[in-house]
């Protein structure tokens, strides 16, 4: 069906879905930027004048990255900022979202830090691009559960396939992505 054949209601729905996908992509860039120590990707989720409140930090979102990275670098081997349920309310070029999150960190002392909460954001579409203008981080729970050893010992580079990295050397940046591991042979 050609675009000109779509009803106005259907076209409006498609435009809303496209906006929602752009907003979800923005939210995901924040998480990836934090976990991969990728300043450019993190910043791409926020307007330069964006404000954020994250833990004790309150201020410019770009400055928040500079505050958080040394803390994560010294304290954790890896972090996961996992995004869960997301609701989005769009009104023109302004949107409000609520994103449930689960934060998990493997600390340098091999303990595990877990926390959960919600990111409540105001996003704005400027020059056709959705980015966060204001973020409030509601940390609703946290714990240090007992650590369990990784099932295969330390996180290995199994057969040269690469291990997680907190920068652009991480395998997720490889294009094209390839598998360098040998096929699994049961009982071997």
Q: How confident is the model at residue 85 (pLDDT cuts 50, 70, 90)?
A: very high
The structural domain count of the chain equals: 1
Tens digits of residue pLDDT in 165-184: 888 888 788 888 877 666 77
DSSP symbol at 32: H
89 occurs within a structural domain: yes
The SS3 assignment for 113 reads strand
178 occurs within a structural domain: no
Q: Cα–Cα distance between 35 and 165 in angstroms, integer?
A: 9
Mean pLDDT of 82-101: 98
pLDDT for position 159: 47
Tens digits of residue pLDDT in 129-178: 999 999 999 999 999 998 776 555 555 554 455 667 888 888 788 888 87
By DSSP bridging, strand 94-107 and strand 129-143 are unpaired
String of DSSP letters for 40-68: HHHHTTEEEEEEEEETTEEEEHHHHHHHH
The SS3 assignment for 126 reads strand
Q: What is the CATH number of the domain that holds 74?
A: 3.10.450.50
Cα distance between the two ends of the chain: 54
Residue 95 has pLDDT above 50, yes or no: yes
């Amino acid at each position: 069906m050609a675009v000109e054949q779509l009803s106005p209601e259907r076209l409006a729905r498609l435009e809303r879905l496209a906006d929602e996908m752009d907003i979800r992509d923005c939210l995901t860039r924040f998480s990836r930027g934090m976990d991969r120590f990728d300043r450019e990707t993190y910043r791409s989720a926020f307007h330069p004048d964006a404000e954020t409140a994250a833990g004790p930090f309150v201020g410019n979102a770009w400055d928040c990255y500079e505050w958080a990275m040394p803390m994560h670098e010294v304290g954790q081997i890896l972090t996961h900022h996992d995004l869960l349920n997301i609701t989005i309310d769009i009104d023109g070029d302004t949107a409000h979202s609520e994103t449930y999150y689960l934060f998990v960190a493997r600390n340098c002392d091999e303990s595990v830090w877990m926390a959960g909460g919600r990111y409540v954001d105001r996003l704005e579409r400027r020059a056709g691009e959705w980015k966060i203008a204001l973020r409030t981080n509601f940390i609703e729970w946290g714990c240090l559960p007992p650590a369990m050893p990784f099932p295969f010992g330390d996180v290995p580079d199994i057969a040269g396939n690469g291990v997680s990295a907190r920068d652009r050397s991480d395998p997720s940046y490889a294009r094209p992505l390839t598998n360098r591991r040998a096929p699994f042979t049961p009982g071997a």
